[in-house]
Chains A and B, each alone.
Chain A
């Protein structure tokens, strides 16, 4: 148990370092992308206006932007102003001059350069719950379908049912989700109007996108489970279990699956992070207000604050999920501790 806590603490301590490296690389790349984030495709702001805005957001200097963004995202700037008393002095002075108090967020991801009326904090807090819900739902579907199909295949390798599940898994991995998504939409929303065409809110709208998103994961889990099960079913301890007279179900689910599931578990960490940070394609096809679109649109609009915000969130989730999986791993299989 103590070793587990040490591991968790060690991994958490490494988190900021990894994030700083990711931040530095991403910002350098995003900064190097040509084009000006303040350009409007139709009506062009005046040059002096663009200069002013650049100054306001520190877009005129890489080092300045690097430092100022880092200190506001980490809450360092807020803490500094709070400790120095600047925060309350500023509020007081504003109130004395007849201006309202401004409540600054502690962790400030900055404004969106493309969407005037939204801060990146607001964008992330509205999009992330949607993506996490959809991603979690699809991972659950993938687990049930994938493990089920893998076990069926492993029980009778090379049988018709095995071949069938393998083929379906192959299709699930190879077909891009915009094809599957559009096909599902056409069949189950337009031809047979069981589900709404798109949008978010309520269980009916979640079914088709969750299924579409789950397919590649389900397929991969099915293959992992099948391989693990075939290997486990040939192992000595299974023969022992059978020899001592354990029922076939007990052999399959209690003994074999327990070991066969470990590779699936290690796949689940990155898979969950990937599923829960949104998919651009699925969000487009099903009109879902999730995170995935911001990765693509942020880069296209060169919306620097949004790019950095979503990348940092994604990186944090990826690291945390891997940690959760490692903890689960030890919990399920005490040998690894």
Chain B
């Protein structure tokens, strides 16, 4: 028996060594949970919200959004000023001389040319390449490179060395082609000239988007080279790791352990470092929603950027009850122009107050397949706009928002969240049974819908299928919609729950009848929502095709007068949600945050839901001014002192 003790003792020693050798790091000035593990820190490859949120800490683009203002205006970033030519197509950016990378070298216009070229290489498959295709000549370049790559694999070579050489030569040629074709020029180290193919009123807003951030060429180029066999530029992982990454934002990456944590430290070379009120940030990778809330409650987390625990509805309800207990004071503060976080800060201490539901730049909706035939070959009744309209009116949106979601989210009558884009007037939308205040009103809406179905000869024994992916309560919403349709229109329904990847594939191939969907806007313009309904758009899962709608978007694309342009877009959305209904907006998303407003300040309540976490000041920690950073500080009226 004593023989057995030897391996056991060895094991004990090894375990102790491993456990004690792995010391936890000291607490950071700010610790927050970032919704999910970051997928990539390569800005040109990003598309996830949590990746972009991190990008804004590590990188800085030409310009930024003023997230603490209601107009979400453009403020200088690396560019300290810019001019637009008279024909509104050429931007000239003047880069500040004190903008620097984390290693101290200056950020130059060449860095932007290099980075934006990366996004425009079909080789690197940037999800947002389309945004860069607004630059003059970029489409030609993109297509040219794609054609060269396609042709390369068909060419025959004498030996591997020759093939390798050809791949490298093609890369040299590609760089020359880019400079010759694309309207993106570094006039000198600090002047960048961008020529667009047509005026784009929201181009500066795009420049504030994380994908337009610069990367450090001397580092990134170390990890990219053309594949000798296919000639494609292959990017290797590695340069986005802690201690390796060189970036130009307010923070630098000092550590990133996969699915464990990320650590950021203030960039000592950042030009606006004096305005930063936190020195270190820790982003632990807590993906389990309950674990996140527990960690917050024990005080190890300062901010949860997206609470997804199943009981968050109750948390929001408690917050609303708390606000209701102080409703006179809340009304008073609202009248003075205070934002929701500031109001919470000025109310008495209460654990319930630390939950915050913030309206988001996204909408939950149901798609109708608009193809004339269903996947099984039958006639598709939803190809008829009247049928879609009738079904849209008979979803009890209010009860879904109130009883299933329970996050205080507004019911949606439009695709674009109203009030989220300055200068845009949302159309009214269709009447909905959920809005009816009296039984008569409700009956009238149902009668109209039934009449529409009759007019469209909706078949009697037709079974409507609702498809959704597993998770996040989509099943409950699907059931509620099915029940609404059964009760009001008397149709039969069936529910179909699918795995996410399969569900996505079915949507893309239009293998469904009706299906849940959601969309979050990327930039501050109505087209970020409307474009997905263009007949040729890659995200048009509905197979919706209305030349009038397409034409309105085309007209808006060339309209120089901003007021007229917005009117055209508004008309396009009106057609979408009052006449054609390829999709039924159900509610506009809210995001639930957890933080103590008496301690954390500098978060934005703007419906674009874009947080620049470097603006956060932890009150009372002795770092930074320790002053509240409210929304619209100039517009808030101070209270008359008694």
Which residues from chain A sit less than 8 Å from chain B, CB to CB?
34-37, 39-49, 52-53, 55-56, 86, 89-90, 93-94, 97, 99-100, 102, 111, 114-119, 122-123, 126-127, 129, 132-133, 136-137, 139-140, 143, 182, 185, 189-190, 193, 196-203, 205-206, 253-254, 257-258, 261, 265, 284-287, 289, 293, 300-302, 328, 331-332
Residue contact B125 to A133, C-beta cutoff 8 Å = no
Q: A126 to B257, alpha carbons, bound, how many Å?
A: 8
Residue contact A197 to B291, C-beta cutoff 8 Å = yes
- B373 on interface, CB distance cutoff 8 Å: no
Q: Least Cβ distance of A196 to chain B in Å?
A: 7
- B309 on interface, CB distance cutoff 8 Å: no
Q: A35 to B105, alpha carbons, bound, how many Å?
A: 45
Q: Least Cβ distance of A334 to chain B in Å?
A: 10
- B222 on interface, CB distance cutoff 8 Å: yes
Residue contact A56 to B501, C-beta cutoff 8 Å = no
Residue contact A190 to B237, C-beta cutoff 8 Å = no
Residue contact A117 to B41, C-beta cutoff 8 Å = yes
Q: A40 to B40, alpha carbons, bound, how many Å?
A: 13
Given A36-B501, A284-B287, do A196 and B298 touch, yes or no (CB 8 Å)? yes
Q: A179 to B318, alpha carbons, bound, how many Å?
A: 26
Q: Least Cβ distance of B510 to chain A in Å?
A: 13
Residue contact B501 to A127, C-beta cutoff 8 Å = no
B212-270 contacts to A (CB < 8 Å): 221-223, 225-226, 228, 230, 232, 234, 236-238, 240-241, 257-261
Interface size class of B (residues with CB under 8 A): 35 or more
Q: A123 to B11, alpha carbons, bound, how many Å?
A: 24
Q: List 13 A-B contacts (CB under 8 A).
A: A34-B505, A49-B122, A53-B125, A56-B234, A111-B237, A117-B38, A190-B298, A198-B291, A205-B24, A258-B1, A289-B257, A289-B259, A289-B260
Contact of B230 (CB < 8 Å), options: A56, A196, A199: A56
Question: CB-defined interface of B440-468 with A at 8 Å, one 1/0 digit per residue?
Answer: 00000000000000000000000000000
Which residues from chain A contact B260 at a C-beta distance below 8 Å? Answer: 126, 199-200, 289
Given A119-B237, A202-B24, do A190 and B294 touch, yes or no (CB 8 Å)? yes
Q: A286 to B39, alpha carbons, bound, how many Å?
A: 21
Quick check: which of B109-117, B160-168, B190-198, B346-354 contacts chain A, the rest being far away?
A: B160-168
Closest A residue to B160 by beta carbon equals A86
Given A126-B258, A140-B12, A202-B19, do A44 and B538 touch, yes or no (CB 8 Å)? yes
Residue contact B240 to A117, C-beta cutoff 8 Å = yes
Residue contact B300 to A196, C-beta cutoff 8 Å = yes
Q: A201 to B261, alpha carbons, bound, how many Å?
A: 11
Which residues from chain A contact B561 at a C-beta distance below 8 Å? Answer: none
Residue in A119, A133, A301 with the greatest tally of chain B CB atoms within 10 Å: A133
Residue contact B24 to A199, C-beta cutoff 8 Å = yes
Q: A122 to B244, alpha carbons, bound, how many Å?
A: 15
Closest A residue to B146 by beta carbon equals A48
Q: Least Cβ distance of B583 to chain A in Å?
A: 16
Contact of A94 (CB < 8 Å), options: B149, B225, B232, B297: B225
Residue contact B258 to A122, C-beta cutoff 8 Å = yes
Contact of A35 (CB < 8 Å), options: B38, B47, B298, B504: B504
Residue contact A41 to B504, C-beta cutoff 8 Å = yes
Residue contact B11 to A140, C-beta cutoff 8 Å = yes
Which residues from chain B contact A47 at a C-beta distance below 8 Å? Answer: 538
Q: A233 to B234, alpha carbons, bound, how many Å?
A: 68
Closest A residue to B49 by beta carbon equals A42
Closest B residue to A195 by beta carbon equals B298
Q: Least Cβ distance of A5 to chain B in Å?
A: 19
Q: A49 to B123, alpha carbons, bound, how many Å?
A: 8
Residue contact A115 to B288, C-beta cutoff 8 Å = no
Q: A35 to B258, alpha carbons, bound, how many Å?
A: 25
Q: Least Cβ distance of A57 to chain B in Å?
A: 11
Closest A residue to B539 by beta carbon equals A44
Given A48-B122, A202-B19, do A302 and B39 touch, yes or no (CB 8 Å)? no
Which residues from chain B contact A190 at a C-beta distance below 8 Å? Answer: 294, 297-298
Quick check: which of B2-10, B403-411, B634-642 contacts chain A, the rest being far away?
A: B2-10
Q: A59 to B501, alpha carbons, bound, how many Å?
A: 16
- B508 on interface, CB distance cutoff 8 Å: yes
- B311 on interface, CB distance cutoff 8 Å: no
Closest 5 CB pairs of A and B: A35-B501, A116-B40, A289-B260, A99-B225, A97-B168
Residue contact B236 to A102, C-beta cutoff 8 Å = yes
Which residues from chain B contact A40 at a C-beta distance below 8 Å? Answer: 47, 127
Q: A140 to B4, alpha carbons, bound, how many Å?
A: 13
B113-132 contacts to A (CB < 8 Å): 122-123, 125, 127-129
Q: A288 to B417, alpha carbons, bound, how many Å?
A: 38
Closest A residue to B507 by beta carbon equals A44
Q: A129 to B12, alpha carbons, bound, how many Å?
A: 15
Given A115-B258, A140-B11, 15 other A-B contacts at CB below 8 A?
Answer: A40-B127, A41-B504, A42-B520, A44-B539, A93-B164, A93-B228, A100-B225, A117-B38, A117-B39, A126-B259, A258-B1, A265-B4, A285-B288, A289-B260, A300-B501
Which residues from chain B contact A284 at a C-beta distance below 8 Å? Answer: 287-288, 291
Contact of B7 (CB < 8 Å), options: A111, A205, A328: A328
Contact of A127 (CB < 8 Å), options: B37, B222, B258, B504: B258
Q: Least Cβ distance of A295 to chain B in Å?
A: 13
Residue contact B258 to A189, C-beta cutoff 8 Å = no
Q: A272 to B285, alpha carbons, bound, how many Å?
A: 27
Residue contact A42 to B48, C-beta cutoff 8 Å = yes
- B599 on interface, CB distance cutoff 8 Å: no
- B500 on interface, CB distance cutoff 8 Å: yes
